[in-house]
Structure 1
């Protein structure tokens, strides 16, 4: 996710990117303590901003961190940064750190950092042909908070590449949860759409897919096992930057007929239409 932005927000002001620094005493550096969130921008419009701010403030509360702005103040900063950077297609990352800790362990006054990045969506090949995923036994700490701790996901990057896979799915004793940066959905043979209910981050795209799916199919949050995925008609992953990507293989097992399915692709069209509607509702 390369950045071609000129400005970032840090220490209560918008500054040139080259002047945006944290001191080494920050608890994000010392202990990896902090939260973040990320949302897409199209033509100056942040998609589903209120949903992302809800999650950001909720993550902060879970981690006992205080966001140093009201929602309206934070929105004002975001829109000002978007205007100054003037990047048509991009993403905004908000990071709230543990602050400049005196002893390298106790949280202090949080530091809020907001950066803007150019954005790349999944390639046509991934949508047309689907992707392979692998699995790893692991459960993320404090899964309902979007923390900055991605140690295991980053540690597994080489394994994912060696397996010629796109991503790695976490599970514990065969019960699956999530990917490092995505949520999972499966489509049962009766077209019921299911996403893991527990020990997952409640993704905004996940939320939108559940609503969209419920208009056409039965949609539910439930326990999903590795065997459920292998027996599924279809599977797909979702995230802010990936939207929907069909999954056609898990480890060495083919899912369904080994091709992206009708349900997955139809939901992708619905999601794109929902994004368009959100844009038009705010801009026109």
Structure 2
């Protein structure tokens, strides 16, 4: 059992002693939200972006965070001091709370903050990954909810196709993977990511906000056929930074290797993280 310290509602306790009642809506109905960020050399990366998204998800899910953003930052700082894990992942979870009838949303929710050791990529992972597509639109897509049922249910499909993960497409348009945003690069060099009905990823946001890159960064819908004809593709997430996508549905993207624009954007992003 882990001896790491966690924060539960209003106290720091040993992780092995942390527990929730079975009446919590996260257990009964899978209702709740979370956010996850990394620390490098003891410093949180893009913390303000993650906290803003956490509060946005809570508001849209009709959940209440008792602490202010500044109070939450103070809790995170103290948790980091107690655990002494310079390179780590910190997860903030807000459950639906204890419901008398396992359906009605209670006034109070449960806040859990955990920290685990995490090794983050120090450069581009050129070996990349492969994806298999599946027709699905994630519900409540603008909120980072606890619901990963479809992604877990699709594990056999992913394995059968020797893929690293699944890529959701809906009505013929590419969306996202369960744990990462998706980008493609056209043969003209335009870098595109889906605009609507996807999670606003923090790495995605910081890539789109890069200045003077020399690249055209666009949010718009794009089809599976466009993707098959792309010159490059990559996914972005807190744990992966930028990870090249070499194949989709068994078809090589471009030359089947990490592309020039993907590599350059990765370097720009790592510079911003540092």
Which residue of structure 1 lines up, in the alignment, with residue 82 of structure 2?
Answer: 84
**Aligned with 1:143: secondary structure?**
coil
Could you tell me whether the CA contact under 8 Å between 1:5 and 1:117 is conserved in 2? no
Aligned equivalents of 2:72 and 2:129: distance in 1? 37
With the length of structure 1 as denominator, give the TM-score of the two structures. 0.92
Which residue of structure 1 lines up, in the alignment, with residue 210 of structure 2?
Answer: 212
Change (3 A) 1:165 1:123: farther
**Aligned with 1:256: secondary structure?**
coil
Could you tell me whether the CA contact under 8 Å between 2:181 and 2:235 is conserved in 1? yes
Deviations 1:120-175 (A, max 9, x none): 44698x82232211011111111000000000011112221221111110011211
**Aligned with 1:246: secondary structure?**
strand
Could you tell me whether the CA contact under 8 Å between 1:146 and 1:201 is conserved in 2? yes
Aligned equivalents of 2:181 and 2:161: distance in 1? 20
Q: Which structure shows the higher helix fraction?
A: 1
Change (3 A) 1:110 1:219: same
Aligned equivalents of 1:206 and 1:238: distance in 2? 6
Could you tell me whether the CA contact under 8 Å between 1:36 and 1:95 is conserved in 2? yes
- The number of aligned residues is 273
**Aligned with 2:273: secondary structure?**
helix
- Pair 1:117 & 2:116 matched: yes
Which residue of structure 2 lines up, in the alignment, with residue 233 of structure 1?
Answer: 231
Which residue of structure 2 lines up, in the alignment, with residue 64 of structure 1?
Answer: 62
Deviations 1:46-74 (A, max 9, x none): 11111001100000011000111001110
Deviations 1:247-280 (A, max 9, x none): 111002111111110100111111111110xxxx
**Aligned with 1:227: secondary structure?**
helix
**Aligned with 2:222: secondary structure?**
coil
Unaligned runs of 5+ in 1: 277-284
With the length of structure 2 as denominator, give the TM-score of the two structures. 0.96
Could you tell me whether the CA contact under 8 Å between 2:126 and 2:243 is conserved in 1? no
- Two-structure CA RMSD over aligned residues (Å): 1.6
**Aligned with 1:114: secondary structure?**
strand
Could you tell me whether the CA contact under 8 Å between 1:121 and 1:242 is conserved in 2? yes
Aligned equivalents of 1:248 and 1:6: distance in 2? 37
Could you tell me whether the CA contact under 8 Å between 1:5 and 1:87 is conserved in 2? no
Aligned equivalents of 1:21 and 1:155: distance in 2? 26
